[in-house]
Structure 1
Amino acid sequence: MAIGFIGLGNLGSAIVKRLLDQKEEVKIYNRTKSKVEHMGLDIANSPKELVEECDTVFMCLFESAAVENIFEMQNGILSADLKGKTIIDLTTNHYEKVLTFHEKIEKKGGNYLESPIFGSVPPALQGALTIVTSGKESTFELCKPFLQKIGKEIFYLKEKGKASKMKLINNLCLGSFMATIAECTALGEACDINKSELLKILGVGGGQSLVLKGKTQKLIDEDFSAHFSNSAIYKDLHTLQDLAYSMNQPLYTAAIPKELFGKMKKEGKGEEDFCSIYKLFK
């Protein structure tokens, strides 16, 4: 039986390609059908139709509001018979909203696995994503073979909501690292240090990180086509601050990167890759 997939943005499309490379049959649903017709895949007319024809359905959407829409819309997921069906949600969800997603799917007799992914387009194409999952252990074990087709490192945090919180914490590192790398790059250029040489030195020195490794060539080429957008990291850091506020936990290093990515979005660069924050410093 085909795997269902909802959400064919940059990352979702890369994951679908990986599943196809793994010889999986994939059927898709996308809000705008014309945007995915070129993929040559079987396209469902609604989320309900997709769930009815696929036992396992992945979702990879921008935010919780989009997930809720897929659930609640006319002919949405919740209008289908969900008994025996499993939803694997790769979306970076709000830590509170995701609890309602577990509840709604389970109430209808389905299985829901909260599975935010760490990584962008290149690791998705290689099956090298990191995935953190929360939900029933039986659902996790059921879904693990599918997750292993797209992920290299897979972690299970049983309590519902914890995977979503972990993803936000990870993205604090991601956003902070990117802002610092971008500022170092611009400062080095101002010191008349060749950018390629500068990034090479940082890559074996204090700047050594997966973030720098992944963004070095994009910074050299000033290629800001999106693997992970400014809008996405801005949204995640905002949600992280919501989490910290709810815990009465001050955050010190999250505020400035969040506002820098917010400025990029305000300047109309929200859909550029988040390494384009470099332009603010340059």
Structure 2
Amino acid sequence: MSRRQVGFVGLGNMGGRMTRRLVGAGIAVVGYDVRDGQAAAAGALAAGSPAEVCAGSECVLLSLPDSTVVESVVLGDGGLAAAARSGQVIIDLSTAAPASTRRIHAALGALGVEYLDAGISGGAAAAEQGTLTIMAGGSAAALDAIRWVFEPIASKVVLMGESGAGHSTKLLNNFLNAVSLAATAEVMVAARKAGLDLAAVLDVINSSSGVNYATLNRFPRIIKGDYLEGGLTSALMTKDVVLYVDHVRELGVPCLNAAGPLASFGAAGNLGYGDKISNRVVDAIGDLAGGVRLFSPAADGAKDAR
């Protein structure tokens, strides 16, 4: 019996990790990335173009930087729309603008091709462990038909509604992620400058009303010098917050809380951390506070020796 085959376009930090999970589960992957060597590094058979991943693949997954790139890959010259078969499913795992998603869904639907938006959450660690959360938008029947492809990469898959609903949910989630990460980074820099024990501060916060994902899962490792490299960069976090601002404006909802994360991750980009994991925003804030670092091997080693 031949192996199932999927196509995958975009084999970067997240796409590469998901591809390795699929290959490890015995699924053949034909992959394409604009950077040479990415497909081989992920264990996929390299394709020469996005369109080539369609041939022989039951479905095609996308993990791309933004809606402009997604539209080019799907609808541009030599894109997936020209090569996809009627009944084939294209799954967009990117963080993208819901309005763009709905346009692509309509264009592919006219060709008999299913399009699912499937925002992912959990970061690089969850991608490696196969425990991502997927928030999907589109046809329930199309989602049911390709659930098998999510089994190696996700522990939770939820259909949020019609086309665009998955990407809408992802933007809402990512905004809260940005707010909590930026705010916690600022608080932890202040705690360091106040001379507080950072582990004790986190212990108290995680038992109090300030608890959030960053205090629970990120900063217990960051204060030990582990920035959890490999996930969403500060530049991409800024892009996601801008997408959120645009989305809520379209919905007619006042946007009153975006200034903080936009300033924080914008500063990170301006200070040279734009292409580094967004957790490094704490170093950007530390720079602005006079060169503060939460982890200092020499200082922490001396403290432990006392």
TM range (shorter): over 0.9
Change (3 A) 1:175 1:145: same
Counterpart pick for 1:94 among 93, 97, 117: 97
Measured in 2, the distance between the counterparts of 1:67 and 1:129 equals 21
Counterpart pick for 1:124 among 124, 127, 133: 127
CA contact (8 A) 1:87 1:111 kept: yes
Change (3 A) 1:82 1:67: same
CA contact (8 A) 1:118 1:131 kept: yes
Measured in 2, the distance between the counterparts of 1:170 and 1:41 equals 30
Measured in 1, the distance between the counterparts of 2:275 and 2:228 equals 9
Deviations 1:91-144 (A, max 9, x none): 111121111111122222211111011121001111111111111111111122
**Structure 2 counterpart of 1:223:** 227
**Structure 1 counterpart of 2:255:** 251
Q: Is 223-232 or 22-31 further displaced after alignment?
A: 223-232
The gaps in structure 2 that reach 5 residues or longer are: 287-306
Change (3 A) 1:249 1:201: same
**Structure 2 counterpart of 1:25:** 28
SS at match of 2:98: coil
Q: Does 1:270 align with 2:279?
A: no
Larger-gyration structure (1/2): 2
Measured in 2, the distance between the counterparts of 1:50 and 1:281 equals 43
Counterpart pick for 1:233 among 214, 218, 237: 237
SS at match of 1:156: strand
Q: What is the deviation of 1:215?
A: 1.3
Deviations 1:196-233 (A, max 9, x none): 34334433434433333331213430637341111111
TM-score (structure 1 length as normaliser): 0.92
**Structure 1 counterpart of 2:294:** none
CA contact (8 A) 2:93 2:120 kept: yes
Letter in 1 for 2:224: I
Q: Is 271-280 or 62-71 further displaced after alignment?
A: 271-280
Measured in 1, the distance between the counterparts of 2:283 and 2:50 equals 40
TM-score (structure 2 length as normaliser): 0.86
- Paired residues in the alignment total 282
Letter in 1 for 2:179: S
Q: Is 60-69 or 20-29 further displaced after alignment?
A: 20-29
**Structure 2 counterpart of 1:79:** 82
Letter in 2 for 1:218: I
CA contact (8 A) 1:55 1:84 kept: no
Measured in 1, the distance between the counterparts of 2:260 and 2:211 equals 22
